[in-house]
Amino acid sequence: MKKGENGGAVVHGGVDDKSVELFLGKLLRWGVLLAALVVFVGGVWFLAESNDVPQNYRTFRGEPADLRAVPQILHEAMVLRPLGLIQFGLLLLIATPVARVLFSVLGFALERDWMYVVLTLLVLGLLVYTLTSGGAS
Amino acid sequence: MNSQLNTVEFTLVVALGSFVAGMLGSLTGLGGGVVIVPLLTLVFGVDIRYAIGASLVSVIATSSGAAAAYLREGYSNMRVGMFLEIATTVGAVSGAFLAGYLHTSIIAIVFGVVLLYSAYASTHTLADPPEGMAPDRIATVLRLDASYPTADGLKFYHVRRVPLGFGLMYVAGVLSGLLGIGSGAVKVLAMDQAMKIPFKVSTTTSNFMIGVTAAASAGIYLRRGYIDPGLAMPVMLGVLAGALVGAKILPGAKVRTLRIVFGVVIAALAVEMILQGVRGKL
């Protein structure tokens, strides 16, 4: 708190806004580092098993079904397939902002700000929708 | 270019390029995402859909990774962020769906235009809004007005023109979902220019919003099969490492010169994207 007497909580009635946010910031950073670690391990494994055939990203084929949906990705990671591990790490990464929105719901609920509990739940619902049923073709 | 490289070489070269993009993005405050798609498509010949998928992932990594540093500053306005997040996530979903129907050449051209705007916006720093403005009715109902700490104590501000800001945020969301970028430039336009939110508050709030918006798009891209693990891996790790190093050396860096150089690079990439798009090559 080197900002002196005014460096404390910002705004709106919530006394512990600041400390909650700091905790969240650390949580997010650990989430990102964990995701990066999983991606890295999966990546090294993937490269170790790769052959000399060049990767072709010029033509778009789309990923196979087992690397698209959440349950399949979890399964691929559980049986320790390298690409499944990478995809699981990416899923962890996508989950970090979702977690932050989830904690915001709790934060607004603690402040008894029901209007913002509803608005935040709306955002959370949209995020869950895109991960579970959005865009399936 | 990737035709001669095997998987290991390709991965390492992409990781290196992403590292540089992440470092420049963090030093200039533009984010690494804006150059990842041109880098992958123009330099490495990657299909633009795979490139956008990988870029989205890196945008989330830099947003969440930088959150701790931003939150320590204590300027973000969670109510403004969450309210506008409704517009950006709905926009992101629209944009991601649109990406499935538009021809890749059109996506490339739109990308180039947005990139040009970002380059232009990066060289123009905006002045903080004047003080003592009247409160806005919608902002009052939504309790968006707040304060932030300055050297002279807490400074209160009123949030203005909420519908315009909300509409611009929807556009930012569409662009993010369509192009796989953070749309930081449009978000700043909405919050600084339209809603008259002080610069320090808008940048920190924007960082949080970028991650949530990108997560909404990423969910759809993942389910569509646009996120390739073999490509997203070096991009995400490279951009993240670059952003962390960039943040470490930021205090001693000549940011102004860097901004101009990066702005020129972005403008050149933008023109190339548009040309390739018009020729139907992307």
Rg of chain B taking only CA atoms, in angstroms: 18
- Please list every residue in chain A whose beta carbon sits closer than 8 Å to the beta carbon of residue B4: 54
Give ipTM to 2 decimals.
Answer: 0.89
Alpha helices in B31-156 (DSSP H): 33-38, 48-73, 78-99, 104-122, 137-141
Measured between CA atoms, the residue of chain B closest to residue A81 is B229
Least-confidence region, from A112-116, B144-148, B240-244, B255-259: B255-259
Report chain A's mean pLDDT, rounded to a whole number: 81
Say whether residue A111 is in contact with chain B using an 8 A CB cutoff: no
Q: Locate B9 and state its tokens.
A: 């070489």
Backbone phi, psi, residue A68, to 5°: -110, -55
Burial string for A28-57 (b: 16+ CB within 10 Å, else e) reads bbebbeebbebbbebbebbbeebeeeebeb
Mean pLDDT value of segment A80-92: 94
User: Of the given ranges (A35-44, B49-58, B219-228, B242-251), which has the lowest mean pLDDT?
Assistant: B242-251
Inter-chain residue contact B100 with A135, CB threshold 8 Å: yes
Tell me whether A42 touches chain B (CB under 8 Å): yes
SS3 string of A60-119? CCCCCHHHCCHHHHHHHHHCCCHHHHHHHHHHHHHHHHHHHHHHHHHHHHHCCCHHHHHH
C-alpha span between A107 and B90 (Å, rounded): 23
Q: Which residue type, as a one-letter code, is found at position A55?
A: Q
Q: HSE of A131 in the Cβ direction (CA atoms, 13 Å)?
A: 23
Least confident of A100-109, B1-10, B22-31, B78-87: B1-10
Provide the whole-model pTM: 0.88
How far apart (Å, rounded) are the C-alpha atoms in residues B259 and B261? Answer: 5
CB contact under 8 A, A90 and B231: no
More confident residue, A109 or B31: A109
Tell how far CA A17 is from the center of its chain: 22
In angstroms, rounded to a whole number, what is the distance separating the alpha carbons of residues B209 and B31? 13
pLDDT in tens, B3-30: 578 888 899 999 999 999 998 888 777 7
pLDDT in tens, B214-271: 999 999 999 989 999 999 999 999 999 998 888 888 777 777 787 788 888 888 999 9
Instruction: Compute the count of residue pairs across chains A and B with CB atoms less than 8 Å apart.
Output: 244
Number of domains in chain B: 1
Lowest mean pLDDT, pick from A65-69, B251-255, B276-280: B251-255
Element (H, E) at B157: strand B153-157
The first and second tokens of residue A6, run together, are: 């005014």
Structure tokens at A4: 């002196």
| Among B179, B88, B237, residue whose Cα is nearest residue A90 | B237
pLDDT of residue A4: 36
pLDDT at B205: 86
Q: What percent of chain B has pLDDT over 70?
A: 92
**Angstroms from B241 CA to nearest CA on chain A:** 10
pLDDT > 80? residue B102: yes
The verdict on residue B226 lying in a domain is yes
> Looking at the predicted structure, is the pLDDT value of residue B134 above 80?
no
- Between B66 and A76, residue with greater pLDDT: A76
Distance CA B179, CA B176 (A): 5
pLDDT for the residue B132: 63
Q: Choose the weakest-confidence range: A47-51, B50-54, B235-239.
A: A47-51
Pick A98's closest partner by Cβ from B79, B215, B227. Answer: B215
CB distance A11–B47 less than 8 Å? no
pLDDT band at residue B106 under the 50/70/90 scheme: very high
Residue ranges making up the domain that contains B33 = 7-74+81-132+164-278
Outline where chain B has alpha helix (H).
7-28, 33-38, 48-73, 78-99, 104-122, 137-141, 162-179, 184-188, 199-224, 229-249, 255-278
Closest approach of B260 to chain A, Cα-based (Å): 30
Given this model, what pLDDT does residue A91 score?
95
SS3 of B238, please? helix
Chain B CB contacts of A134 below 8 Å: 93, 96, 219-220, 223
Contact at 8 Å (CB) between A106 and B69?
no
Residue B150 lies in a domain: no
Instruction: Determine the pLDDT at residue B2.
Output: 46
The amino acid sitting at B52 is: I
pLDDT at site B84 = 95
